[in-house]
Structure 1
């Protein structure tokens, strides 16, 4: 009887593992994503558009971001690991396939095949260099801040500095039902810095050459 139970348990584990693996392998379709982005374009499809929560800042550029990072971010909002009422509401309405399709779309949106390689990022100097070294930022985001060591990590070079500042502060937030990001690594990094230092760090990273962009929808041009 015990042997039978072990066999059943092993079979269940195998099934769960197979289902999990299949869920992780959802393939995105950029053309399908282009038809599903109605909830995205009102903020991410307008150059210079500003959000007012949790403070006024430009919404992030997401065109040209890696598909795995976009999917990771949307799933974090969906699970509540990223606390943002609007983004959580949007993400909660998406299926795994929707997320994969939108990620595929935005990772290729505005990307020109055969375009010239991104210019090398100038090395940080002075205070910015000290902050980058203290946070060991390049160990994950790459020397250029555009080539992270894992595609589920974001490209951050040239991202809006006011957005970067808000995002970095959110990793420090605790006990707030509407603001915060649950990432142990980034939480540990961000908590080393004062808000003034995070602002200076964000300004440096935001000034770097970037592959990120906002691509306006035709109706907004």
Structure 2
């Protein structure tokens, strides 16, 4: 591993420990209900329940696959939008309307869609991609197959839309914009190491991997 990444890696380990403790405490207080989440997901299916649906802000890209993500990650992401650590206007507005119970129910519903049997390690990319994965120390947080993160509040990346991953990576490098960007010290430090072309190559590779992530097609109205 690149020695320059050692401080980042140590920070990651420390944050994982704190995050796991916080999540454990939260899990003891609020349990998600899949059936309740299915009903509450009516607000989500207009984007996340349509195969190939695209978002036009801050640039055109497919909305992320959230079916199959872990419940802890979905809660962490929604909480970040609600707090303003993630600054997408639409998602901030939606998250602001959700209680902790709503988040837990939605997270339980979308996590229940994970049913794939995955390899223990991801298929190798080319030499350039392998170097990018090592440069970002990606496996240390997201798992050897990019679907078993070290901490369940981290996202599964394997099989996610490439254009979404590219936009997400760029968001971690944005500062001082009230509508675009994500505040995360670890990911900010990692993302800023990459050029936009490198982000595209890394995102393209991750999108080709075997995955639990999917879009569960649903009508806009039901």
> How many angstroms apart in 2 are the aligned matches of 1:23 and 1:212?
23
Q: In structure 2, which of residues 76, 83, 96 is the aligned counterpart of residue 92 of structure 1?
A: 96
> How many angstroms apart in 2 are the aligned matches of 1:44 and 1:33?
14
Task: Tell whether 2:71 aligns with 1:70.
Answer: no
2:185 corresponding residue in structure 1: 184
> How many angstroms apart in 2 are the aligned matches of 1:219 and 1:81?
29
Q: Contact between 2:49 and 2:219, CA under 8 Å: does it hold in 1? A: no
Task: Tell whether 2:174 aligns with 1:173.
Answer: yes
1:205 corresponding residue in structure 2: 206
Aligned-pair CA distance for 1:121: 2.1
Aligned-pair CA distance for 1:39: 1.2
Aligned-pair CA distance for 1:41: 0.3
Where 1:104 maps in the other structure, the secondary structure is helix
Radius of gyration: which is bigger?
1
2:49 corresponding residue in structure 1: 45
> How many angstroms apart in 1 are the aligned matches of 2:167 and 2:48?
17
> How many angstroms apart in 1 are the aligned matches of 2:26 and 2:109?
21
Where 1:35 maps in the other structure, the secondary structure is helix
CA-based RMSD: 1.9
Q: Contact between 2:80 and 2:86, CA under 8 Å: does it hold in 1? A: yes
Where 2:40 maps in the other structure, the secondary structure is coil
> How many angstroms apart in 2 are the aligned matches of 1:50 and 1:199?
18
Q: In structure 1, which of residues 8, 28, 36 is the aligned counterpart of residue 32 of structure 2?
A: 28
Stretches of structure 2 lacking an aligned partner (at least 5 in a row): 1-24
- Which moves more between the two structures, 32-41 or 211-220? 211-220
Q: Show structure 1 runs of 4+ deviating over 4 A.
A: 21-24
1:108 corresponding residue in structure 2: 112
1:118 corresponding residue in structure 2: 118
Using the size of structure 1 for normalisation, the TM-score is 0.85
